[in-house]
Amino acid sequence: MSTPKTPPKAVDDDNVVHGVVAEFTDVSSLLAACERVRDAGYTKADAFAPFPVHGIDKALGIKPTVLPWIALAAGGIGTCTALAMQIWMNGIDYQYIISGKPFISLPASIPVAFELTILFASFATFFGMWALNGLPRFSNPIFTSPRFDRATDDTFFLFLDAKDNRFDEAGAKSFLADLGGDFIEVVKEDDSPKSIPKFLLIGLALLISFSLIPALLVARMRVTKSTSPRIHIFPDMDFSPAKDMQQTSTLFADGRAMRPDVPGTVHRGEMIWDLDFQTGIELEKLAQTDAPRVRRLVAMVQSDVEVGGDEQAADAADAGEETSSEPAEEASSDGESDEDANPTALTPAAGPEVDTTPWLSENPLPLTDAVLRRGQTMFGVYCSTCHGMNGNGDGLVNRRAQRILATTWTPPSNLHDETLFEDAYPDGKLFSTISNGIRKMPGYRAQIGAEDRWAIVAYVRALQASQDATLEDVPEAQRATIEKEQTDVKAALEKAAAEAEAKAKESST
């Protein structure tokens, strides 16, 4: 005859009930109890074991979590975010050429898209788990049971939550006793004081106060001045050996920190193979009369060297070779040198050099409002310092040279001089002067692109025309306004002359 099982012990208290927990000694009894709890209709139950138990979630009737779907959705959002970000940044907002690839390149975007996919999915999984489990929770009523500490050692527990619709304290204790629970305990509210100890509050306040000191010091330094230097935490970054623009350097023979372009470098948007456009000369016509000069011009344009200076140097070198090929004359037998035998005074004077260069007579750019405005801008930046904004040669540099009586200064040309008009000074020659310089004026070929130089030529012609324009040069829509202004000015002048004449008669009488 078997001995009846000792009824389980129970512990009661007057606090708020959060549930009932039962102890089990092995996994089999825990799994069997979980299945019976599920079959009884309890939906808010949980099991605790010192090690993972396979199948316990199915035994409790726990539904699959939606966390994988959250991770999948976040990963998809990360992929779309990365692709949209790269397409906008590299393909639309700031187009950047990388190894000649298209601005919008899907293969090049995959690494970043992969990284953001993992990042978004990881964050969603981590914080989604917190949200689904109601974390963070710094305490749990079941922790009030001293026996629950063995859940991480050698004991198994089954907990029925009081929030379950089927929960009844007496019925739950009886049900767990029938399931074979060795010890049943009602989980009550923790009766320990809920107020935070004062020493913790004081310590927290002191910690926050001390943490604000660095921020306050930084804010004070931003609005005040100091006689002592700053503390350089990274001196190699504060005092970088990198050079700024227009500084000197001992690393290069020319002493400049900025390195010039490699010969033959073509600026972006300046790939223009029309040599007439680059030189201002009709090279086909020049080739018929001076083929060697054309070859030198083509070579110099392709090597990105100033045309004027090197052309003169090449001519001088040719002349030097011709003179050096002839043997030098020895002194005459009677002691007279060549200079005495053929004095310079007897050498015939050279006449004025005739310019036979076939310059371009017309500007290759269309004379549009945009071209003239571009030429006006470039003229104001590079030319007005000497020639003045109106082209009369009264720029700031010329004024200062006249004020200090600079003896080596050559006054800039008055662009309204008749010798610089289009019929006497073709557009191509004016373009060449801007490119290669003349007298004290340096060449601006290295600073100004060919298209902008032609725009300056167009603006100079517009300046010249503005000083000698007729009414026929004015658009028809504006002629009536100008004629009215002319009439008003003439009437004002006649009135002023009549008043002056009347005053003169009064004073004479």
Please give the pLDDT value at position 342.
42
pLDDT at 337 over 50: no
3-state SS, residue 443: coil
Token digits of residue 148:
């629950």
Please give the pLDDT value at position 122.
97
Please give the pLDDT value at position 23.
93
Please give the pLDDT value at position 304.
52
344 vs 196, higher pLDDT? 196
266 vs 94, higher pLDDT? 94
Q: What share of the chain in percent tops pLDDT 90?
A: 19
Q: Which range has highest mean pLDDT (29-43, 275-289, 429-443)?
A: 29-43
Please give the pLDDT value at position 344.
39
**Strand stretches in 302-423, DSSP E:** none
Alpha carbons 129 and 66: distance in angstroms, whole number: 10
- Prediction pTM value: 0.41
Q: What share of the chain is helix, strand, coil (3-state, %, to 5)?
A: 50, 5, 40
* Amino acid code (one letter) for 60: L
Contact (CB, 8 A) for 88 and 46: no
N-term to C-term CA, the chain: 164
Vertex 170 angle, CA 167 and 173, to 5°: 85
3-state SS, residue 486: helix
Q: Which range has highest mean pLDDT (72-86, 342-356, 453-467)?
A: 72-86
How does DSSP assign 157-179, residue by residue? EEEEETTSTT--HHHHHHHHHHT
Q: What is the average per-residue pLDDT within 434-458?
A: 86
Q: What is the average per-residue pLDDT within 138-145?
A: 84
Q: State the helix-helix crossing angle for 427-436 and 307-325, rounded to 10 degrees.
A: 80
pLDDT at 301 over 70: no
| Alpha helix (H) residue ranges in 87-168 | 106-132
pLDDT at 323 over 70: no
pLDDT at 318 over 80: no
245 vs 496, higher pLDDT? 496
Please give the pLDDT value at position 50.
92
Contact (CB, 8 A) for 274 and 267: no
Q: Half-sphere exposure of residue 440, counting CA atoms within 13 Å on the CB side?
A: 13
Please give the pLDDT value at position 127.
96
Average pLDDT, the chain: 80
- pLDDT tens, residue by residue, 25-59: 899 999 999 999 999 989 889 999 999 999 888 89
| pLDDT band per the 50, 70, 90 thresholds, residue 95 | confident
pLDDT at 314 over 60: no
Token digits of residue 283:
């090279």
Please give the pLDDT value at position 272.
63
pLDDT at 3 over 50: no
| pLDDT band per the 50, 70, 90 thresholds, residue 349 | very low
Beta bridge pairs of residue 21: 159, 185
Please give the pLDDT value at position 66.
94
Q: State the helix-helix crossing angle for 427-436 and 450-467, rounded to 10 degrees.
A: 120
Please give the pLDDT value at position 348.
41
3-state SS, residue 293: helix
Please give the pLDDT value at position 209.
95
Please give the pLDDT value at position 22.
92
Q: What is the average per-residue pLDDT within 416-434?
A: 84
